[in-house]
Copies of this chain bind each other. A is one copy, B any other.
Amino acid sequence: MSSGAIQHIGIIGSGNVAWHLAHHLKSEGLTIDWIFSRNEQTGTELASSLSTKYISSLDEVQPDLALICVNDDAIQSIISQLPDSIPMAYTSGTKPLKDLLLEQQEIGVFYPLQTFSKEKAINLFEVPFFIEAENPVFAQQLFDLAWKLSRSVQFASSEARKHLHLSAVMVNNFTNHLFYLANEYLSQHDLDWQNLKPLIQETVSKLDSLSPFEAQTGPARRKDQATIETQLALLEGQQKELYQLFTDSILKTYSNK
């Protein structure tokens, strides 16, 4: 491993994370040597969008860094295909580094705490990146690479990263699914989802001046059982279960307040 700055990067994967990181790294002056992906179609698309090449074998590559942007269950297999001499980093929030440590290969974590969809451009400048590696020189190289993309770069243990990722699932994946359920519910009743936009904006805007504990409003916060019963009667199945579980959890949170 060279101790200089990382300049030549190979990207492994062609999903949402690979797409955005590759484009941002290129924008910051890094060289994307190639894209490797099991999915030839999306791999070729990503390579083409970056004016670089798509490769179908990892046998003879030699970048400064192989950035592994694939599902957790595919990381191990990718590592075993890479030549021993290539430093590599992966972008998973959950996979512990110790599960992947190998004698002859340099490996680290390069985890951006953000949601990426291919169709949506994104500003990475405030996105927290969490870095981990056993070798301090390599860790610093990864840190410096992340610093080209963001002003929020931190070293974090696998343990801390796992907790951050779980909390991210709560505030993004589950929140977005609530938006989906509300959208579906309104559509079923021929009502316009756009009516909820100012409320959704304010839900987030409140966090600038109030904690989530302080910002809570609504029937469960007011212990308004009549409204809770009316609303439960409008729902069924998983949506009803979710309503009941949230209501119980909010009631419990404010039970002595």
Contact = CB atoms under 8 A, between A and B. Distances in A.
Interface of A: 16, 71-73, 93-94, 113-117, 119-120, 122, 126-128, 152, 160, 162-183, 185-186, 189, 191, 195-204, 206-207, 209-222, 224, 226-227, 230-231, 234-235, 238, 241-243, 245-246, 248-250, 252-253
B249 A242 contact: yes
Contacts of A231: 94, 165-166, 169
A150 B137 CA distance: 57
A242 B204 CA distance: 21
B167 A227 contact: no
B116 A215 contact: no
Contact of A173 (B93, B165, B246): B246
Contacts of A191: 160, 163-164, 167
Given A226-B72, A249-B238, A115 B202 contact: yes
A184 B93 CA distance: 19
Contacts of A195: 113, 128, 152, 164
Contact of A168 (B71, B114, B165, B196): B196
Contact of A117 (B113, B119, B217, B242): B217
B252 A217 contact: no
Copies per assembly: 2
A166 B230 CA distance: 9
Contacts of A71: 222, 224
A127 B202 CA distance: 10
A73 B119 CA distance: 47
Contacts of A165: 231
A224 B180 contact: no
A256 to B, nearest CB: 15
A209 to B, nearest CB: 5
